[in-house]
Chains A and B, each alone.
Chain A
Amino acid sequence: MKFFEKLSQIDRRWIFLLVALAVIVPLLSRMGLPDKPGKYSLQLFEAVERIQPNSQPVLISADYSPSMMPELDPMFRAMVRHCLARKVRLIVMTLDPTGAGLAEDALRQIAPEYGAAYGRDYVFLGYKVGAAIVIMSIGENIRQAYPTDAYGTPIDSLPMMADVRNYADIPLVVDIAGSAVINSWVIFAGARYKARVGAGCTAVSSADYYPFLQSGQMVGLLNGMKGASDYEYLNQQRGYTSVPRVAGKGMDAVSIVHLLIMGFIVLGNIGYFVAKKNAQPK
Chain B
Amino acid sequence: MPVLKFKPERILNLTGLGINTLEDALFSLKCEASINNENQLEVEINPDRPDMYIGEGIARAIRGITNNELGFKEYDYENSKFKLINEIPYIRPIISAAVIYNVNLDNDFLVELIQFQEKLHEGIGRKRRKVAIGIHDLNKVPSNELKYKNVSIDDKMMPLGSNNYVSIREILKNTDQGIKYGNISLINDLHPAFISGDEIISLPPVINSNITRLDENTRDLLIDVTGTDSYYVNKTLDIIVSNLAERKNTKIGKVEIIENNSRKYTPLMEKSEEVIDSSYVNEILGEKLSNDEIAFHLMRMRHNVLLNDNEIRVVIPPFRADIISNIDLVEDIVMSIGYNNIVPNKPKVMLRGSLTNITILKRKIRDIMIGLGFTEIQSLTLVSSRILKDLDEQNYIEVLNPITNDFDSLRPNLFVSMIMAMKNNIMASKPVKLFEIGKIVEKVLGKPVDKERISIAIMDESLSYEDIQSVVYSLLKMLNIEFKVLSSSNKFLIKGRSADLIVNNKIIGYFGEVSPYILEKFSLEYPIVYGELDLG
- Same complex for A and B? Answer no
